[in-house]
Amino acid sequence: MSYVSACEKVIPLHNYVLVEMWTPERTPGGIVIPDGAQSDVPYTGTVMAVGPGGFASSGERIPVAVEKGQKVAIHPAAMQSAVTRNIAGVKYGLFRDIDVVCVVETDRVH
């Protein structure tokens, strides 16, 4: 089974987001980031699946703010409570939507 088909079988519930995690090996300037310094790099990844959303106190559903395919940054504190798995060498994380701090629209730093 490939990691793509394994990922497609993970269906987040409520306000959870499944993210394929990645960390850059080099800075935008081309400097290699050693493994020991990787913890200082923001957690980023690609949204692979989203849940239907949580509920307001009124019972109304609140949709998740991100969509499948978007690149996102994750709050570093979220890694403490996230469910993470390595599937075929690829790291995936299951996060609450509130742990996604922004959508990354480009890889370039202006």
**Tens of pLDDT, residues 58-90:** 999 999 999 999 999 888 888 777 888 887 888
| Dihedral sign computed on CA atoms, order 20, 79, 23, 52 | positive
Q: Which residue has the higher pLDDT, 52 or 109?
A: 52
Per-residue pLDDT, averaged over 85-99, amounts to: 87
Instruction: Give the CB-side neighbour count of residue 90, counting CA atoms within 13 A.
Output: 16
% of the chain beyond a pLDDT of 70: 70
CATH of domain 3-104: 2.30.33.40
Least confident of 30-34, 41-45, 91-95: 30-34
| Dihedral sign computed on CA atoms, order 94, 21, 6, 80 | negative
Q: With 0.85 as the threshold, say if the pTM is over it.
A: no
What residues does each domain of the chain span?
A: 3-104
